[in-house]
């Protein structure tokens, strides 16, 4: 058997330039898949959560069941969730997205609903007094005022989706999780560290971007403070 | 994506492989062997499985197929996908897979069908796989089975080459292995009964772990349970003792394919090329390059196939 090559890969160092240069494409592909899975899940989650929250706000009796169901979904362990969805979606990226959407619901619904409930009754009455119908009231008064709370929920849901994507590795669609799991099995330090750091970076960047978006679309919150 | 699933189900229904025949007409081909141009090769996520999947992918690509790889955590997840045609080709181990299918078909308490004899094992495996729409291709020379190693100095001192030698020596042996070793027929009970080895204790340090091998190197334990494709034995100054009475099951590497998608002679021929070439030692060496030197499985597989003239 030939002698092992003498580089940081063979020495199994935590930080390894050789790893970064030889696996650049693999890392980029994994980051791409990670971003894609996160973005699609959060967007679909938002599209489902918004009407649920509005319904729960409009008809009080619906709030209990909606919150109960989404909270119960949130408590299902992620490994079990993917196994339960497996017969429906098979081994596919859709399986991972479906799981992540279900997890994002409770965070999004609760926060949007909290935002809607926080709209002062006087404000709603003033709008009605100005002749606003229910749809116009919702779109131009209630939803904009609920934005700060809703955006807070969106930020939490996004950061949690970034970390949950990694569990998708059990079916081969886990973005950076694929690398973390493979690295853990062979005690590959550089791979585990690099992929984990990239995961954290994605979460922080996504959070900051959403914070920026929130500031841009809710200029009045700053005006009050400033 | 959901449309894909529907299409896949319709295809399966159309080819008639969703309903298998009863076990009576064993060997009956339920669906005509198909030849899909795009093949998904499954890997079970550990190094050797990755390497084999990469080699299969490279050989199939050369034979004109489009290939993609899917790494799945375990057999419970990929075997149903193999039956449904989401995965088309998977590297398997004959005896282990036969026992797994047997447990799935006949319940967990069914008597084991995998055996140390390759012909018997393959017969049992094919009998179980065929009704599920799976074809088991021919095994090659490579075997990944359990094996026992001792320190080289210990083997020299007591003139040990085989497990029979160790039994005949009457030495007291403390064995580093997984804690399931005390019950498994291939482990402590088999070593005592088949070889007459005097096992004083099983040290539960895991199968082939670094701790287990270090314990033997330091003399704390005398023998360690590992596998035939373990390439790190040299580093620890260990040598394998031959399983001369064939206690271990015939875990030969076999490709298993979904018949309706990859049951064609083209696939069989492309993967068959590996059978005459790949040895257990080759697998061990490739495992080492990936596990100890952290080379990329794809590169290691490609270099190997090129060296052997299987890949242009």
Residue A134 has pLDDT above 80, yes or no: yes
Asked if B77 and A186 come within 8 Å (Cβ–Cβ), the reply is: no
Q: What is the pLDDT of residue A5?
A: 84
Q: Are residues B137 and B258 in the same domain?
A: yes
Q: Chain A residue with minimal CA distance to B86?
A: A91
Pick B71's closest partner by Cβ from A1, A5, A172. Answer: A172
Of B197, B217, B241, the one marking the end of a domain is B241
- What would the pLDDT profile of B269-297 be if each residue is shown by its tens digit? 999 999 999 999 999 999 999 988 899 99
Residues of chain B contacting residue A171, judged by C-beta atoms under 8 Å apart: 72-73, 77
The predicted model gives A2-17 an average pLDDT of 86
State the nearest Cα–Cα gap between A119 and chain B, in angstroms: 39
Cβ neighbours, 10 Å, residue A214: 17
Q: What is the pLDDT of residue A222?
A: 76
- What would the pLDDT profile of A78-87 be if each residue is shown by its tens digit? 888 988 898 8
Q: Are residues B135 and B160 in the same domain?
A: no
Percent of chain B with pLDDT over 90: 71
Asked if A185 and B84 come within 8 Å (Cβ–Cβ), the reply is: no
Asked if A169 and B73 come within 8 Å (Cβ–Cβ), the reply is: yes
Q: Are residues B44 and B136 in the same domain?
A: yes
Helix (H) or strand (E) segment spanning residue A21? helix A17-22
Pick A1's closest partner by Cβ from B5, B77, B234. Answer: B234
Asked if A9 and B294 come within 8 Å (Cβ–Cβ), the reply is: yes
B50: in domain:
yes
B87: in domain:
yes
Rg of chain A, C-alpha, whole Å: 22
- How many helices and strands, by DSSP H and E, does chain B display? 13, 10
For chain A, what are the domain ranges?
17-219
**ipTM reported for the complex, 2 dp:** 0.81
How many residues are recorded in chain B? 312
CA B284/CA B230 separation, integer angstroms: 5
Q: Are residues B211 and B296 in the same domain?
A: no
Residue B298 has pLDDT above 80, yes or no: yes
**Interchain contact B70–A (C-beta under 8 A):** yes
Residues of chain A contacting residue B293, judged by C-beta atoms under 8 Å apart: 4-5, 9-10
Q: Are residues B139 and B223 in the same domain?
A: no
CATH of the domain at B169: 3.40.190.120
> What is the residue range of B257's domain?
36-143+250-307
Q: Are residues B120 and B54 in the same domain?
A: yes
Residue B234 has pLDDT above 90, yes or no: no
Q: Chain B residue with minimal CA distance to A181?
A: B45
Q: Can you list the positions of beta strands (E) in chain B?
A: 38-43, 66-71, 89-93, 134-136, 146-151, 172-177, 198-204, 223-227, 238-241, 253-258
Distances (CA, A) of A43 to A40, A97, A145, A205, B1: 5, 10, 21, 17, 17
CATH of the domain at B42: 3.40.190.10
* DSSP classification of residue A141: I
Q: Are residues B103 and B124 in the same domain?
A: yes
Q: Are residues B52 and B139 in the same domain?
A: yes
Pick A172's closest partner by Cβ from B70, B285, B288. Answer: B70
Residue B17 has pLDDT above 70, yes or no: no
Q: Are residues B175 and B156 in the same domain?
A: yes
B21: in domain:
no
Please give the residue that has the higher pLDDT: either A4 or B85: B85
Number of domains in chain B: 2
Residues of chain A contacting residue B230, judged by C-beta atoms under 8 Å apart: none
Q: Are residues B228 and B81 in the same domain?
A: no
Residues of chain A contacting residue B3, judged by C-beta atoms under 8 Å apart: none
Cβ(A89)–Cβ(A98) under 8 Å? Answer: yes
Q: What is the pLDDT of residue A187?
A: 81
Asked if B291 and A94 come within 8 Å (Cβ–Cβ), the reply is: no
Q: Are residues B71 and B95 in the same domain?
A: yes
Diameter of chain B measured on Cα atoms: 67
At the fourth CATH level, which superfamily is domain A17-219? MetI-like (1.10.3720.10)
B9: in domain:
no
Asked if B1 and A89 come within 8 Å (Cβ–Cβ), the reply is: yes
B86: in domain:
yes
B297: in domain:
yes
């Amino acid at each position: 058997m030939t002698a092992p090559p003498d580089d940081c890969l063979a020495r199994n160092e935590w930080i390894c330039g050789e790893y970064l240069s030889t696996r650049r494409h693999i890392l980029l592909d994994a980051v791409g898949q990670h971003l894609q899975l996160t973005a699609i899940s959060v967007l679909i989650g938002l599209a489902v959560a918004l009407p649920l929250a509005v319904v729960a706000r409009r008809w009080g009796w619906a709030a209990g069941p909606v919150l109960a169901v989404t909270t119960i979904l949130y408590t299902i362990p992620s490994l079990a969730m993917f196994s339960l969805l497996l017969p429906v979606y098979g081994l596919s990226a859709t399986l991972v997205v479906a799981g992540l959407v279900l997890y994002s619901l409770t965070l999004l619904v609760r926060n949007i609903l909290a935002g809607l409930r926080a709209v002062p009754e006087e404000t709603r009455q003033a709008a009605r007094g100005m002749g606003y119908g229910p749809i116009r009231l919702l779109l131009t008064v209630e939803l904009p005022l609920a934005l700060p709370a809703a955006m807070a929920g969106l930020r939490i849901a996004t950061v949690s989706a970034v970390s949950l994507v990694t569990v998708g590795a059990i079916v081969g669609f886990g973005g950076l999780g694929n690398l973390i799991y493979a690295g853990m099995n062979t005690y590959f330090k550089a791979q585990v560290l690099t992929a984990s750091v990239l995961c954290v970076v994605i979460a922080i960047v996504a959070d900051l971007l959403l914070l920026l978006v929130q500031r841009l679309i809710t200029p009045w919150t700053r005006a009050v403070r400033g | 994506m959901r449309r894909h699933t529907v299409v896949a189900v319709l295809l399966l229904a159309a080819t008639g492989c969703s309903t298998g025949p009863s076990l009576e007409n064993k060997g009956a081909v339920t669906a005509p062997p198909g030849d899909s141009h795009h093949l998904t090769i499954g890997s079970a996520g550990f190094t050797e499985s990755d390497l084999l999947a990469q080699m299969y992918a490279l050989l199939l690509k050369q034979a004109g197929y489009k290939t993609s790889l899917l790494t799945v955590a375990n057999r419970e997840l990929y075997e149903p996908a193999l039956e449904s045609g989401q995965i088309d080709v998977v590297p398997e181990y004959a005896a282990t897979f036969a026992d797994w299918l047997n447990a799935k078909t006949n319940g967990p308490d069914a008597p084991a069908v995998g055996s140390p004899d390759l012909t018997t094992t393959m017969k049992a495996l094919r009998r179980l796989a065929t009704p599920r729409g799976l074809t088991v291709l021919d095994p090659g020379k490579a075997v990944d089975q359990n094996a026992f190693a001792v320190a080289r100095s210990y083997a020299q001192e007591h003139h040990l080459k085989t497990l029979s030698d160790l039994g005949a020596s009457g030495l007291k042996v403390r064995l580093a292995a997984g804690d399931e070793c005390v019950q498994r027929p291939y482990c402590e009970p088999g070593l005592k009964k088949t070889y007459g080895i005097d096992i004083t204790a099983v040290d539960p340090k895991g199968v082939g772990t670094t701790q287990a091998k270090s314990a033997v190197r330091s003399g704390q334990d005398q023998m360690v349970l590992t596998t035939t494709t373990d390439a790190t034995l040299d580093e620890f100054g260990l040598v394998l003792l031959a399983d001369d009475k064939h206690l271990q099951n015939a875990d030969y590497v076999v490709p298993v394919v979904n018949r309706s998608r990859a049951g064609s002679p083209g696939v069989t021929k492309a993967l068959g090329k590996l059978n005459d070439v790949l040895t257990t030692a080759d697998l061990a060496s490739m495992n080492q390059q990936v596990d100890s030197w952290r080379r990329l499985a794809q590169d290691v597989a490609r270099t190997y196939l090129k060296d052997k003239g299987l890949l242009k």
